[in-house]
Structure 1
């Protein structure tokens, strides 16, 4: 019975990770579409309003009611919020000055960093199969984007710093997942997004800080009111943010971080799909090969997990608030 329960838990966690990857890929598409006309803080603010509304009206009541927002790990959630804020600012600033494919390729260092940090800080055992899955998945990313020397210019450090921030978020999520529900894990970073983006809007919304430098004006350009269909696009980003935040919290609280990490590579083949459907960018043969490597790595990791006995160690969080 324990064996069946473990397999079901891991499979559900992996499915949650895939669902989160789908949700976050939708956010990437919407933000890419909107970024030419709107500052990052505005996109984050509107997304956070929609996401929090969905959390309060649907997700939190289904998970046990508003009492689940009470936590003994306030300090841990503050650290998670700071990590994801740092990650978003770093990644989207780099995206403004780097080619999209190169920025995404660098950002996919996240699963490698997660796997390493899970060994160092969570004391998880990551065997050769999981290391192999991560490395094969990453090789698929390189096959797809074929990064050249330009990817290693100084601005390339920005999406790498973003990767470090996201990896830290996932490790802290795993740390908090022993006692807090997924809706709780999703609420605190989303609320932090709302507060920080609102403050940024007050400070930068008038546009007086704009410099004409793309990497800075991602944050500094003025607030602009959406029109027509753009409101719907903002709403889609908000709903995707709520669902993705919930699912990624569920994934990292149910499974070892080293198991979940390779499934984040699913976002890359999804980017291919969005490129065809939204931007009419038909992929080259190398993209199909890379996508096969990414998907194959995830399937091998899943197959191996269903054959490995023993429940995953779940670190219990210390009280910090």
Structure 2
């Protein structure tokens, strides 16, 4: 398998790993939704075990990179980044417990819009008219998917939107940290701090790992989360983000397919219109970001 991937070349291998990450995350999302809707597991417990098990599978890498990467002069910003990330994880899992997966995954793709807004106001990046138009287009797509005017609308659908905003905030802090911190430092602090924060949130409801189907589900979720993150890192190490974006968008199809197969969640036609607006706007924003970085270099 390794030889086959190596023979593809960096661009094709990057696309392979990005598509693989999307497929793995789609299975993780379905397992989280199944654990909440069928087994009645709380979202806090689901996320605690998901990231604890993923952390345990990441220990060899952490051992190899952790000691040197722990040196930092910006611990407060590392902590702030993890707080935002934990909030996003909690809202995402809570959303999956209540809304169809097709709606949740489409709304989480609003994250680049929030990144652009945050970069304008908190990182003092240039806000051009075309960027504002892209943000407005993305949010228009989000409104089509939310459909707050319809009888089917539920406030729980806002949870993935909140998760997108918090993950965008985490990304903005990470972007600020890259001025002084290494990628290894960013990864190590995220892995080390996620589990304690998730444990505090889940403590009241209990942290025991049940024996039986629900326990196996949690173990599989953690393992697949570790594999998905590995595939994502490999993809970005092989190819540029702008090139990989179209392959990342394939995750929508994976999630919709599993939602139909496992839960019978058939999306309405408005999903595809809204998703097209979000994907188009986010892809344009990413291409602008990539172009700006090349000009700066």
* TM surpasses 0.5: yes
Measured against aligned partners, the alpha-carbon deviations of 1:108-132 in whole angstroms (never above 9, x if no partner) come to 4432211111122223345455555
Taking the aligned partners of 2:62 and 2:235, their CA distance within structure 1 comes to 12
Report the Cα offset of residue 164 of structure 1.
2.7
Measured against aligned partners, the alpha-carbon deviations of 1:30-58 in whole angstroms (never above 9, x if no partner) come to 21111132222332232223222232214
SS in structure 2 opposite 1:185? helix
Report the Cα offset of residue 177 of structure 1.
2.3
SS in structure 1 opposite 2:58? helix
Deviates more, 1:132-141 or 1:191-200: 132-141
Q: Answer yes or no: is 1:46 the counterpart of 2:29.
A: no
TM-score, normalising length: structure 1 = 0.64
Is this contact kept in 1: 2:137–2:277, CA < 8 A? yes
Taking the aligned partners of 2:18 and 2:120, their CA distance within structure 1 comes to 20
Distance 1:262 1:162, change over 3 A: farther
* 1:77 corresponding residue in structure 2: 78
Taking the aligned partners of 1:243 and 1:179, their CA distance within structure 2 comes to 28
Which of these residues, 199, 218, 222, is aligned with residue 234 of structure 1? 218
Taking the aligned partners of 2:170 and 2:295, their CA distance within structure 1 comes to 19
Is this contact kept in 2: 1:25–1:270, CA < 8 A? yes
Runs of 5+ unmatched residues, structure 1: 1-10, 206-221, 315-321
SS in structure 2 opposite 1:114? helix
* 2:210 corresponding residue in structure 1: 225
Taking the aligned partners of 1:103 and 1:91, their CA distance within structure 2 comes to 8
SS in structure 2 opposite 1:178? coil
Taking the aligned partners of 2:119 and 2:244, their CA distance within structure 1 comes to 11
Runs of 5+ unmatched residues, structure 2: 1-11
SS in structure 1 opposite 2:294? coil
Taking the aligned partners of 1:119 and 1:194, their CA distance within structure 2 comes to 31
Report the Cα offset of residue 198 of structure 1.
3.1
Report the Cα offset of residue 78 of structure 1.
0.4
* 1:90 corresponding residue in structure 2: 91
Structural RMSD (CA): 4.7
* 1:148 corresponding residue in structure 2: 149
* 1:28 corresponding residue in structure 2: 29
Taking the aligned partners of 2:99 and 2:275, their CA distance within structure 1 comes to 22
Is this contact kept in 2: 1:133–1:301, CA < 8 A? yes
Is this contact kept in 1: 2:30–2:101, CA < 8 A? no
Taking the aligned partners of 1:155 and 1:56, their CA distance within structure 2 comes to 35
* 2:294 corresponding residue in structure 1: 311
TM-score, normalising length: structure 2 = 0.69
Taking the aligned partners of 1:185 and 1:243, their CA distance within structure 2 comes to 18
Taking the aligned partners of 1:160 and 1:285, their CA distance within structure 2 comes to 20
Report the Cα offset of residue 202 of structure 1.
4.3
Is this contact kept in 1: 2:50–2:218, CA < 8 A? yes
SS in structure 2 opposite 1:29? helix
Structure 2 matches for 1:137-286, cutoff 5 A? 137-143=138-144, 146-149=147-150, 158-205=159-206, 223=208, 225-228=210-213, 230-242=214-226, 247=232, 267-281=251-265, 283-286=267-270
Report the Cα offset of residue 101 of structure 1.
5.2
Taking the aligned partners of 2:146 and 2:19, their CA distance within structure 1 comes to 21
